[in-house]
Amino acid sequence: MVSFLHTADLHLGMRLTRFDPKTAQKIREARFQALDNLLRQVGELRVEFVLIAGDLFDDDAVDLKTAQRAFDILDAATVAVYVLPGNHDPLLPGSVWDRPPWNQAGRSIHVLRSAEPVEVKAGVWLYPCPLQRKTSLSDPTAWIAAAPATTGAVRIGVAHGSLKIRDDLPDDDHLIARDAAAALQLDYLALGHWHRRLDFKGSDGIGRTAYAGVHEPMCFQGNTARRTGWVPYGNTRNADREEFLDSGVGEALHVTIPVPGQPPHIQPVQVGQLFWNEERAEVASADDLKRLTTEVATRATPERRLLRLKLTGILTADTLVLVDHLREIVEGRYFLGELDTSDLHLQPTDEALRAAACSGVLRRVLERLQADRGNGTPEAQSVAERALMVLYRITQETPS
C-alpha cells in the first residue's frame, strides 16, 4: 500500500490589490499557516510523501524572501516533498527554480523538472508533467504513453492543466485528455490548476483522477477572484470560470492505493486557515436585526473569517440604530469585516409613499394597499403593510 498527500495551487506570495496593504499581508501569511497545517497531517496520517501538483508560487519571479521561506518549511518535512512547476511558476529560464535556494538540492524537497519516471519507493513510480511555459496547446501527460512499462508497480501521474471535460475550455490551457488516467494505465492522476476539489471517473467507471483544490481559500465563494485583485495568469478570460472559484474551504487530499490496479481511496483533509464568506441578509424589523446580530456575533473563530455582509430591506428610524451594533461586531471581531447598508432603506411616511408612487397604476396600487392596511383582518393588514414596503423599495431601486 502507498499513502500520500496531494495538494496544488498554494500560490504563495499571491498578488492582492483590492485590500489594504496590512490585510493583504495577513492573507498572504495565512497561506503559509495553511502550509504548516498541511505538513502537520504528514505525521497524523502517516503518509509516505507529499505531491504538490503545480503553482506552489503565484509567480515564477517570486521574491527571495517568499522563495526561501517556502523552501525552509518544505525541506523540514519528515517525508519527501515532490514539487511540480505549474503555469504560474513554470520552468522558465531565470525563474524561481533557477535561483537559490531552489536551484540547490534539498533534504526533503524534490523539484520535478523532467518528464521522466521517478521511483519514490520500491514498486511506486511517479510520472511528472512539469510545465515549461505559462500556456501551451499540448497535453502535458502525453509523454507517459511512451514511458517504459512498470509491470506490477503503482503508477501515479502528477500534472497541471485543464481536464478536457467540455468544449469551451481555452485551447492553450494545457488541456489534458479526459480519460488520461485509464488510457495511460495510471492508478492515480494528481492534478492542479483548478481551484475547486473535483473527482472524475474514467471510461472504466473508476475514479482515478482528482483536483485537490486549494490548501487555503483565495476568494469569496460564488464570486470572481477579481474581487480580491487576483486573476489567473495571462488574461482575464479565466477569472470568471467556475473552476477558479474555490469552495471557501482549504483542503488537501489524502490518497491511499492498496495495490496496483485497485481503485484509490481519496479523502479530503481540511488544512485551511481562513474562511471567506460573502452573504446577503434581508431585514424588515428589529427582531430580524437582533436575530442576525446574535447569529453573526456567536459564529466560531471570527478572527479567522473574512465576512462581507450586505443588508437589504426597510427599517424604521429607531431600528436603524441597531445596525450600528451589528457593524461594531462585523468590523471589530472579524479578521476582515465589511457591512454594506447601501440597499437598506428608512421606512417611509405616507407622504413619501405618495411622492414615490407619483400617478397612474402605482398610485392606484398604493391607495388600495393603504386602504387595506387601515381595514380588514390583522392578517390582511400585515400583508398590506409588507406590500407597501415592497412597492416603496421598487420605486427606490428603479432608475428614474
Which tens digit of pLDDT belongs to each residue from 29-50?
Answer: 999 999 999 999 999 999 999 9
- What pLDDT sits at residue 159? 98
For residue 174, give the nearest of 232, 214, 116, 129 by alpha carbon.
129
Q: What does the alpha-carbon distance between residue 129 and residue 324 come to, in Å, rounded to a whole number? A: 54
Find the Cα–Cα–Cα–Cα dihedral 319, 321, 326, 330, rounded to 10°: 140
**pLDDT(396) > 90:** no
Residue in this structure with the C-alpha cell 452573504, named with its chain if needed = 279
Question: For the chain, what percent of residues have pLDDT higher than 70?
Answer: 81
Q: Are 47 and 4 in contact (CB under 8 A)?
A: yes
Residue range 369-387: mean pLDDT, rounded: 63
Q: Which is more confident, 174 or 247?
A: 174
Of 68-82, 266-280, 373-387, give the lowest mean pLDDT range: 373-387
Confidence of residue 343 (pLDDT cuts 50, 70, 90): confident
Highest mean pLDDT among 196-205, 252-261, 274-283: 252-261
Confidence of residue 375 (pLDDT cuts 50, 70, 90): low
Identify the three-state secondary structure at position 126.
Answer: strand
DSSP assigned state of 227: G
Residue range 125-147: mean pLDDT, rounded: 96
Q: What does the alpha-carbon distance between residue 143 and residue 310 come to, in Å, rounded to a whole number? A: 50
- What pLDDT sits at residue 394? 60
- What pLDDT sits at residue 181? 96
Burial (CB count within 10 angstroms: exposed 0-12, middle 13-18, buried 19+), residue 371: exposed
Q: What does the alpha-carbon distance between residue 36 and residue 255 come to, in Å, rounded to a whole number? A: 19
Identify the three-state secondary structure at position 54.
Answer: coil
Q: What does the alpha-carbon distance between residue 4 and residue 27 come to, in Å, rounded to a whole number? A: 27
All domains in the chain, ordered by first residue: 2-270 (3.60.21.10), 275-397 (no CATH)
Burial (CB count within 10 angstroms: exposed 0-12, middle 13-18, buried 19+), residue 216: buried
- What pLDDT sits at residue 258? 95
- What pLDDT sits at residue 225? 47
Q: What does the alpha-carbon distance between residue 158 and residue 181 come to, in Å, rounded to a whole number? A: 10
- CA 298 to the chain's CA centroid: 24
Mean pLDDT for the chain overall: 87
Q: What does the alpha-carbon distance between residue 11 and residue 1 come to, in Å, rounded to a whole number? A: 31
Residue range 125-150: mean pLDDT, rounded: 95
Which tens digit of pLDDT belongs to each residue from 92-130?
Answer: 999 999 999 999 999 999 999 999 999 999 999 999 999
- What pLDDT sits at residue 389? 57
- What pLDDT sits at residue 388? 55
Element (H, E) at 298: none
For residue 375, give the nearest of 386, 360, 385, 365 by alpha carbon.
385
- What pLDDT sits at residue 244? 81
**pLDDT(234) > 50:** no
Q: Where are the beta strands (DSSP E) in the chain?
A: 2-7, 49-52, 80-83, 109-111, 118-121, 124-128, 154-160, 162-163, 175-176, 188-192, 198-201, 207-211, 251-257, 265-270, 275-282, 305-315, 336-346
Which tens digit of pLDDT belongs to each residue from 293-326?
Answer: 999 999 999 999 999 999 998 887 678 778 999 9
**pLDDT(199) > 90:** yes
DSSP assigned state of 267: E
Residue range 212-231: mean pLDDT, rounded: 73
Q: Which is more confident, 165 or 354?
A: 165
- What pLDDT sits at residue 92? 94
Q: Are 230 and 46 in contact (CB under 8 A)?
A: no
DSSP states of 308-352: EEEEEEEE-HHHHHHHHHHHHHHHHHSSEEEEEEEEEEEPPPHHH
Q: Are 6 and 252 in contact (CB under 8 A)?
A: yes
Helix axes 378-397, 361-374, angle to 10 degrees: 150
- What pLDDT sits at residue 245? 81
For residue 329, give the nearest of 296, 307, 304, 299 by alpha carbon.
296
Residue range 276-299: mean pLDDT, rounded: 94
Confidence of residue 235 (pLDDT cuts 50, 70, 90): very low
Cis peptide before 101 (omega within 30 of 0): yes
Q: What does the alpha-carbon distance between residue 101 and residue 67 come to, in Å, rounded to a whole number? A: 7
